[in-house]
Structure 1
Amino acid sequence: MSAVTYFEAIVVGALQGVSELFPVSSLGHSILIPAWLGGSWARDLSMGGESPYLAVLVAMHVATALALVVFYRRDWARIVRGMWTSVRDRRVSDADQRLAWLLVLATIPVGLAGLLLERVLRDFLGKPVPTAVFLALNGVVLLAVERSARAARRPVPVVSGPEPSEVTRDFSAEITMPIRIISAEEAADRRLARLGVGEAVLIGAAQILALFPGISRSGITMVAGLRRGLSHEDAARFAFLLATPVILAAGVLKLPSLFTQANQASLGPALVGSVVAGVAAYLALRFLTRHFETRTLTPFAVYCVVAGLGSLAYFLA
């Protein structure tokens, strides 16, 4: 059984950190890149059996989740505090408490599905050809939701009419109340907290599709969020908040496999690759949060279609 080398771990770590958060499927790339490169890469980075590569990927997933926690540390501090006060007081009375419960409820479907289906789907579909098909399909879905979103944003003609009459109002007698200035992040969390329970669970359940290699977790979750009326910025934010406990829990659950006797030779590369993955994930988050303030999923969709179809043609040739 081949061990993962340091160079391979660095390359895969950078790839994992970026592709886990970019809507392009980290699992899909973890399968396709070694198959594309062939040789020792295909041998060392095999997804089959009890390959050390799987254990190394687990460590990188944990590092990616920690990067998410660090990036959204203020949000998670409010969310955890909201959960604590909600349980203590046995009520849900503010946005932080509501968002905390929405995240918990929205995580349950993918958690259960992952326990039941992850190994089966990986063993049956974790091969280059099915992965290439799902990657292309991922791009098609992203393109479709963007087309739908553009249609929904078309301006509605305004019918001109008489100007409303001006009303003079005396504000001198009104009592002014102090206004607390909140951050943009807190304002975004308040918007997310307005989601209905069913809407949040539906968006969270979309992550189940990411068990298919080539389907992006962040991408498919954003698609579900956009379909429920969220902006790109808020859909991305909710996708990343939802992904954090899922990735972290799955990684921690499987992390002991890295410390078996068979994987001893891969411990060093796993550590180095995890550091690279964490840094790459943090930088990816900085880029994506700014990107989705004004831009869309379209560039990632085009990439997925081209990469998926190109890979399919290559592996079927």
Structure 2
Amino acid sequence: MDFFQTLILALVQGVTEFLPISSSAHLILVPALTGWEDQGLAFDVAVHGGTLLAVILYFRVQLAHMAVAGAGSLAGRWTPDAKLAWAVVLATLPVVVAGLLFKDLVEGPLRGPLVIATTTITFGLLLWWADASGRRNRDEYSVSWRDALLVGLAQVLALIPGTSRAGITITAALLLGLNREAAARFSFLLSIPTLFASGVLVTRDLLEDSASVDWGVLLLGAAIAAVSAYLGIHFFIRLLARTGMLPYVIYRLLLGTVLFVLFW
């Protein structure tokens, strides 16, 4: 890939990873609409690594508290941070299991543009309904084991391109009564083990791939994805109270409509 393609694809990954508009859909669609060759497994690993680094850095203080409290819970000292840490672990398990079971299906037939168009519109409307009807009177520290499991089961749907991992987990959290900022923060915390697990699976495939690796492109892509993802998280959370989910819903409806027009 040349510099321009690396820049665009890394920005797309970084900006869309934590917005409720589906990063996987955009990484599939950009090459399809531009005629570029598929970016390959190595680049996917690099940009996902960049976004993982961004979310860890953004929540570094909260993560440190959760890690210490989680370790303390093994000795019976349960605190809100410990409960949140284990809620994130529990909510991650369903998508890890489903990813292993349905990996071939997700990486094959479900990557079509019409599937993406359908899920983009369908789950966009569901996000709008959750934002409009949710009670929004709880924070992430109130998440129960049942809540965590339900959000985790919802996250399984994000294996279908166009659903959006951030979108479906925020939708589920809003329906469970979390406020917008808390729903976003829980979704972003949940992305850390999910991105890590996804990276491990893709890296395993990469090790079996004999294609040569351009390390300069990978490092540049990871850096661009990390910076853009960090800024994306920051401004998304800051603007949530003012904008709600409506701008992202409108974008999803427009994107889905364009895809149907182009590929029907």
Q: Same fold (TM over 0.5)?
A: yes
**Deviation for aligned residue 1:265:** 4.0
Note the alpha carbon deviations across 1:239-285, whole angstroms, 9 max, x for none: 00011111022213423544666332443212211111011100101
* 1:20 aligns with one of 17, 20, 36: 17
**Deviation for aligned residue 1:123:** 0.5
C-alpha separation between the residues in 1 aligned to 2:67 and 2:217? Answer: 33
Distance 1:290 1:123, change over 3 A: same
C-alpha separation between the residues in 1 aligned to 2:17 and 2:123? Answer: 14
Note the alpha carbon deviations across 1:268-316, whole angstroms, 9 max, x for none: 2122111110111001011111012333111001100111111111112
* 2:250 aligns with one of 302, 309, 315: 302
Give the partner amino acid of 1:140.
L
1:94 to 2:72 alignment: no
**Deviation for aligned residue 1:24:** 0.3
Alignment RMSD (CA, Å): 2.0
Give the partner amino acid of 2:52.
A
Give the partner amino acid of 1:307.
L
Higher relative contact order (CA 8 A, sep 6+): 1
User: Which secondary structure state, in structure 2, belongs to the residue aligned with residue 262 of structure 1?
Assistant: coil
Give the partner amino acid of 2:155.
Q
Match of 2:184 in 1: 236
**Deviation for aligned residue 1:232:** 0.4
* 2:215 aligns with one of 267, 270, 277: 267
Listed as ranges, the gaps of 5+ residues in structure 1 are: 46-51, 154-189
C-alpha separation between the residues in 2 aligned to 1:100 and 1:233? Answer: 18
Count residues in correspondence: 264
Contact in 2 for aligned 1:55/1:257 (Cα 8 Å): no
Match of 1:53 in 2: 40
1:79 to 2:50 alignment: no
User: Which secondary structure state, in structure 1, belongs to the residue aligned with residue 184 of structure 2?
Assistant: helix
Match of 1:70 in 2: 57
- Alignment TM-score, normalising by the size of structure 2: 0.93
Note the alpha carbon deviations across 1:109-163, whole angstroms, 9 max, x for none: 11111111133122011122211221122222222223324xx68xxxxxxxxxx
Q: Equivalent residues in 2 for 1:80-229 (5 A)?
A: 80-87=67-74, 89=75, 91-149=76-134, 191-229=139-177
* 2:29 aligns with one of 22, 28, 32: 32
Contact in 1 for aligned 2:13/2:23 (Cα 8 Å): yes
Contact in 2 for aligned 1:68/1:281 (Cα 8 Å): yes
Contact in 2 for aligned 1:66/1:248 (Cα 8 Å): no
1:248 to 2:196 alignment: yes
C-alpha separation between the residues in 2 aligned to 1:145 and 1:93? Answer: 31
C-alpha separation between the residues in 1 aligned to 2:13 and 2:209? Answer: 25
Give the partner amino acid of 2:182.
D
C-alpha separation between the residues in 2 aligned to 1:268 and 1:259? Answer: 18
User: Which secondary structure state, in structure 1, belongs to the residue aligned with residue 40 of structure 2?
Assistant: helix
User: Which secondary structure state, in structure 1, belongs to the residue aligned with residue 100 of structure 2?
Assistant: helix
C-alpha separation between the residues in 2 aligned to 1:9 and 1:57? Answer: 11
C-alpha separation between the residues in 1 aligned to 2:78 and 2:5? Answer: 49
User: Which secondary structure state, in structure 2, belongs to the residue aligned with residue 22 of structure 1?
Assistant: coil
C-alpha separation between the residues in 1 aligned to 2:208 and 2:145? Answer: 41
Distance 1:259 1:267, change over 3 A: farther
Distance 1:76 1:194, change over 3 A: same
**Deviation for aligned residue 1:79:** 0.7
C-alpha separation between the residues in 1 aligned to 2:248 and 2:109? Answer: 26
User: Which secondary structure state, in structure 2, belongs to the residue aligned with residue 24 of structure 1?
Assistant: coil
- Alignment TM-score, normalising by the size of structure 1: 0.78
Note the alpha carbon deviations across 1:192-234, whole angstroms, 9 max, x for none: 2222210111112211111001011111101100101000010
C-alpha separation between the residues in 2 aligned to 1:105 and 1:113? Answer: 14
Give the partner amino acid of 1:78.
H
C-alpha separation between the residues in 2 aligned to 1:259 and 1:118? Answer: 17
C-alpha separation between the residues in 2 aligned to 1:138 and 1:53? Answer: 27
Contact in 1 for aligned 2:14/2:226 (Cα 8 Å): yes
Rg larger in structure:
1
User: Which secondary structure state, in structure 2, belongs to the residue aligned with residue 129 of structure 1?
Assistant: helix
Listed as ranges, the gaps of 5+ residues in structure 2 are: none
